[in-house]
């Protein structure tokens, strides 16, 4: 069954979801880019408030692909007590080398690390085998440029299905995000990704930097838990 992730930017937003907690409560600062990071203090406060009622994840920020910078960011965010640390995979010249150099950090922190790739800025090289070899626990697709275009504006259902199959074949958790709407749930659920991630769809007027609306979260929670049959694809 595909589960759902909700991104929050504050303890107040997290608390507003108390009656409809997602499977993963994700923490990021949407005003600071695709994977803007919250302060470690805020993340720690949210983790303590959640108190194991759901899983927690947090992003480390839109950082350059330098292993020393990312290693420090991963270690520091893991210390907050989150269940998953998420880092962005940006198409830079030293990308593959950077991922290889992160292996020792990923295996040392004992907190699963999730790689986030961007549908509108996908690397030319196939990254999933490299990510799996380096010890990443999972991989997500998102969108880097937040201009109203969503995941399905960049990649077809067929391409997304291949991504899910490749990730799962490599033993990785798999998530899909990127300005997803409530309507996208029915389209994407048959792909059987492990998670669908939401931020814009939870906010007033689909504006990701606006305050989260608990009523919209209730609607997504209901749709995701409706037990829709999985259609056969491929």
Lowest mean pLDDT among 3-17, 101-115, 184-198, 206-220: 206-220
Highest mean pLDDT among 189-193, 200-204, 228-232: 189-193
Closest CA to 178 of 97, 120, 101: 120
Check residue 52 and report its DSSP letter: T
The pLDDT value recorded for residue 231 is 41
When pLDDT is cut at 50, 70 and 90, the band that residue 124 belongs to is low
Residue 46, in any domain of the structure? yes
Question: Rounded mean pLDDT of 103-120?
Answer: 96
Residue 233 has pLDDT above 50, yes or no: no
| Residue 104 main-chain phi, psi, to 5 deg | -65, -40
Report yes or no: 5 and 196 within 8 Å, Cβ to Cβ: yes
Question: Rounded mean pLDDT of 63-77?
Answer: 97
Lowest mean pLDDT among 49-58, 59-68, 109-118, 120-129: 120-129
Residue 230, in any domain of the structure? no
When pLDDT is cut at 50, 70 and 90, the band that residue 122 belongs to is confident
pTM: 0.93
Domain span at 26 = 3-224
Catalytic residues: 28, 86
Please report, for the domain that includes residue 190, its CATH number: 3.20.20.70
Structural domain count of the chain: 1
When pLDDT is cut at 50, 70 and 90, the band that residue 104 belongs to is very high
Task: Give residue for tokens 């923490």.
Answer: 27
Residue 231, in any domain of the structure? no
DSSP-based three-state secondary structure for 227? coil
Residue 204, in any domain of the structure? yes
Residue 232, in any domain of the structure? no
Residue 192 CA, chain-centre distance (Å), reads 16
Closest CA to 2 of 217, 168, 202: 168
Residue 233, in any domain of the structure? no
The pLDDT value recorded for residue 211 is 86
**For all residues of the chain together, what is the average pLDDT?**
93
Residue 67, in any domain of the structure? yes
| Bridge partners, residue 4, by sequence | 196
């Amino acid at each position: 069954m595909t589960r759902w992730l909700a991104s929050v930017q504050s303890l107040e937003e997290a608390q507003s979801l108390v009656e409809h907690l997602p499977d993963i409560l994700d923490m990021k600062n949407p005003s600071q880019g695709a994977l803007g990071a919250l302060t470690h203090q805020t993340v720690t406060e949210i983790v303590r408030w959640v108190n194991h009622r759901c899983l927690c994840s947090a992003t480390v920020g839109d950082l350059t692909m330098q292993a020393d910078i990312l290693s420090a960011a991963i270690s520091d965010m893991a210390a907050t007590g989150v269940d998953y640390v998420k880092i962005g995979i940006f198409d830079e010249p030293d990308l593959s080398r950077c991922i290889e150099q992160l292996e020792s950090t990923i295996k040392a922190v004992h907190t699963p690390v999730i790689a986030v790739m961007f549908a509108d800025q996908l690397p030319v090289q196939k990254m999933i085998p490299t990510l799996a070899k380096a010890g990443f626990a999972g991989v997500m697709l998102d969108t880097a440029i937040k201009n109203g275009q969503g995941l399905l504006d960049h990649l077809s259902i067929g391409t997304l299905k291949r991504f899910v199959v490749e990730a799962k074949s490599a033993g990785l958790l798999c998530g899909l995000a990127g300005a997803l709407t409530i309507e996208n749930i029915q389209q994407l659920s048959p792909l059987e990704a492990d998670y669908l991630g939401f931020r814009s769809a939870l906010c007033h007027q689909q504006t990701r930097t606006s305050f989260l609306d608990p009523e919209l979260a209730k609607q997504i929670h209901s749709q995701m838990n409706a037990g829709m049959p999985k259609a056969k694809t491929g």
